Amino acid sequence: MLNKNREKLQKVIEYEFGDPEILTTALTHKSYVAETIVMENCNERMEFLGDSILSAIVAETLYLRYPHESEGKLSLFKAQIVSAHNLSGWAREVDLGGCIYLGKSGYTEEARQRENLLCDTFEAIIGAIYLDGGFENAKKFILKFLNNREEIEITDYKSRLQEILQSIYKELPEYKIIKELGPDHNKKFEAAVYIKGKFLGKGTGNSKKEAQQFAAEQAMKNIKTE
Amino acid sequence: MLNKNREKLQKVIEYEFGDPEILTTALTHKSYVAETIVMENCNERMEFLGDSILSAIVAETLYLRYPHESEGKLSLFKAQIVSAHNLSGWAREVDLGGCIYLGKSGYTEEARQRENLLCDTFEAIIGAIYLDGGFENAKKFILKFLNNREEIEITDYKSRLQEILQSIYKELPEYKIIKELGPDHNKKFEAAVYIKGKFLGKGTGNSKKEAQQFAAEQAMKNIKTE
């Protein structure tokens, strides 16, 4: 099943690997390596590489596409694009979850669709394309997702939420950092947003500001469905 | 004087800009733009771009050079290479400080040699080479510095310091975070290290762990000169 899926994947992403072993490594989660003798390498190192390659390509795209935006605005745009939330969405678009070599504990459809797993594997795929086909092919791969939208849809959810809440409640939302996760060099924050003490939404990000943006995004969705 | 310096710079870095305006922007600090009418763009956007390009090239170099190191180790190596401390050193190697267009308040030799200014301008130069000459030229530029050493000298200063202090004092060093600087999405930390309450050294980094590494590095130097 996995073999069929990986063939399909290469068709969907319009990139065929010259060296199939590189693709294999990119798709191999460490839980799989732990359970088997035939596999030696998991995709963590490739994820490290892909993360940086992605960052460079997104930075260039934003730099060229928004010639009048400040460095601060570009940084915020970039953080939203390379967030686990967004990348896992892109991974789902190409059914990446069904291609991952996972340890036995991971052989459930639910485990395959977890945000972090999808995001990490997506980054590993970028690293793999870079190693196999060079910078231009990695760029082509990423641009396919970035260009899917006429304009990259970057929304300043905090500002939007504030406008809405002010018009309804005549009050400003309140943000709290409710959790700090991960090691110091790779910290994640969880923020929650409230109005008049009532919980509206929460979100996780690489900085407090990013976490607040995602919390505001969730709050907007919750308000709409109310 | 500045014009002569920028000619010299292009010789030293062995890259001549096809479009001299790109180099001009890369060398222009925002304090200069504020004081003049003829210049419109400072180098902050190029620094944003160069930072990501540098990160990608360093990640690739480490990935290929250390095939058996874990992702965690590679991340630590990378953080040390792209640190302001290291990049400002590379900037000094090519006398970058003397080429920067600075506002009047910055026209002192001392101001030109500040770590952050040098690091930011160095990143802008990388962005500029990328825009002017593409990925391969940016890579060539960075590799000149990375390859200056047979082996990239990455030292785990915390472990080394610990060994030394244990052999002298039979005690472990103690680390404290003494300052947090900058906005949430670009936080810096300052750490200090002590033995038996005595101050040994301090350092600044993008994470607490990195700051501790630099503090340990300074402590090692201070111990040696004692």
| Helix (H), strand (E), coil (C) string for A170-198 | CCCCEEEEEEEECCHHHCEEEEEEEECCE
How much is the pLDDT for A106?
62
Q: What is the rounded distance in angstroms from the CA atom of residue A39 to the CA atom of residue A30? A: 10
Could you report the per-residue pLDDT of B2-15, keeping only the tens digit for each? 788 889 999 999 99
CB A45 within 8 A of CB A28: no
Please determine, for residue B192, whether its predicted confidence score (pLDDT) is greater than 60.
yes
| Mean of the per-residue pLDDT values of chain A | 87
Choose the mutation target among B63, B66, B76, B83 for the interface with A, i.e. most A CBs under 10 Å: B63
Please determine, for residue A59, whether its predicted confidence score (pLDDT) is greater than 90.
yes
Higher pLDDT residue, A99 or B168? A99
Per-residue pLDDT, averaged over A174-185, amounts to 83
Among the partner-chain residues A55, A127, A186, the one whose CB lies closest to the CB of B52 is: A55
Among the partner-chain residues B44, B55, B208, the one whose CB lies closest to the CB of A184 is: B208
For residue A101, the 8-state DSSP code is B
CB count in 10 Å sphere of residue B8: 14
Residues of B in contact with A78 (CB under 8 A): 52
How much is the pLDDT for A122?
98
3-state helix, strand and coil shares in percent for chain A, rounded to the nearest 5: 65, 10, 25
Residues of B in contact with A209 (CB under 8 A): 183-185
For residue B199, the 8-state DSSP code is E
B76 touches chain A (CB under 8 A): yes
Strand partners, A204: A190
Among the partner-chain residues B70, B186, B207, the one whose CB lies closest to the CB of A185 is: B207
Q: CB-based burial of residue B37 (10 Å sphere; 0-12 exposed, 13-18 middle, 19+ buried)?
A: exposed
User: Sign of the CA dihedral B118, B121, B123, B129?
Assistant: negative
Q: What is the rounded distance in angstroms from the CA atom of residue B6 to the CA atom of residue B14? A: 12
Is there a catalytic annotation at residue B95?
Answer: no
A195 touches chain B (CB under 8 A): no
How much is the pLDDT for A186?
62
| Structure confidence at residue A112 as a pLDDT band (50, 70, 90) | confident
CB pairs under 8 A between A and B: 92
Could you report the per-residue pLDDT of B44-56, keeping only the tens digit for each? 999 999 999 999 9
CB A57 within 8 A of CB B54: no
User: Sign of the CA dihedral B188, B193, B199, B203?
Assistant: negative
Please determine, for residue B38, whether its predicted confidence score (pLDDT) is greater than 70.
no
Q: What is the rounded distance in angstroms from the CA atom of residue A81 to the CA atom of residue A54? A: 10
How much is the pLDDT for A77?
86
Per-residue pLDDT, averaged over A19-40, amounts to 85
Please determine, for residue B150, whether its predicted confidence score (pLDDT) is greater than 90.
no
Please determine, for residue A150, whether its predicted confidence score (pLDDT) is greater than 60.
no
CB count in 10 Å sphere of residue B12: 13
B60 is in an annotated binding site: no
Domains along chain A with CATH numbers: 2-146 (1.10.1520.10), 157-225 (3.30.160.20)
Q: What is the rounded distance in angstroms from the CA atom of residue B47 to the CA atom of residue B66? A: 28
B160 φ/ψ angles, rounded to the nearest 5 degrees: -65, -45
Q: Where do we find the tokens 């669709």?
A: A113
Q: What is the rounded distance in angstroms from the CA atom of residue B62 to the CA atom of residue A22? A: 17
B29 φ/ψ angles, rounded to the nearest 5 degrees: -80, 150
Q: What is the rounded distance in angstroms from the CA atom of residue A76 to the CA atom of residue A37? A: 43
**Prediction ipTM score:** 0.70
Could you report the per-residue pLDDT of B88-143, keeping only the tens digit for each? 999 999 999 999 998 887 667 788 889 999 999 999 999 999 999 999 999 999 99
What tokens were used for B118? Answer: 């040098």
A189 φ/ψ angles, rounded to the nearest 5 degrees: -125, 145
Per-residue pLDDT, averaged over B3-31, amounts to 93
Please determine, for residue B177, whether its predicted confidence score (pLDDT) is greater than 60.
yes
How much is the pLDDT for B168?
83
HSE of A163, CA atoms in CB hemisphere, 13 A: 5
Compute CA B206 distance to the chain's CA centroid, rounded to the nearest angstrom: 11
How much is the pLDDT for B134?
95
Q: How far is B176 from chain A (nearest CA, A)?
A: 14
